[in-house]
Amino acid sequence: MKTHVGGHGIRSGRSSYSAGSHVLLDFSGVPREICEDDAFLLDLIRKASIESGSTVINSCRYRFGHNSPSGCTAFVMLDESHVSIHTYAERGLVAADVFTCGPTSEQKTDLIVARVKSALPHKEVRDVRLPRFAAAEETASVPGGDG
């Protein structure tokens, strides 16, 4: 059985397998005014996505604080997947999620991550790279495997 997922080059039973690249970033010590600036954060991840060569499909932002703790969310939908940021202003925390897939996913993700890290003032950042489509890769490498 041959499977094609989302137009991004993932095909079981073929040697052209291309996994996704997913990085989670947890920033601490980010100034409150940055954590509340949804327009700045959306602009940052939008520009970083474009600079990486990713295709931006849509984007949105929302500022919290009316009936919840202060902070915001910014989201960029990509043809390759997505980039998002969620903040907790009162604690100076920012969580970013950078996920791309396709033949150049690792390079695109790395460029977006580097741009976000350099543009956000912070005291510490922790990043975790998650393997994506690992089950598909295992299935693709097993002769006759269909999941």
Catalytic residues: 81, 86, 101
**If 0-12 CB within 10 Å is exposed, 13-18 middle and 19+ buried, where does residue 15 land?**
exposed
Cβ neighbours of residue 4 closer than 8 Å, sequence gap 6 or more: 10, 11
Per DSSP, helices labelled H in the chain are 32-35, 38-51, 105-119, 134-141
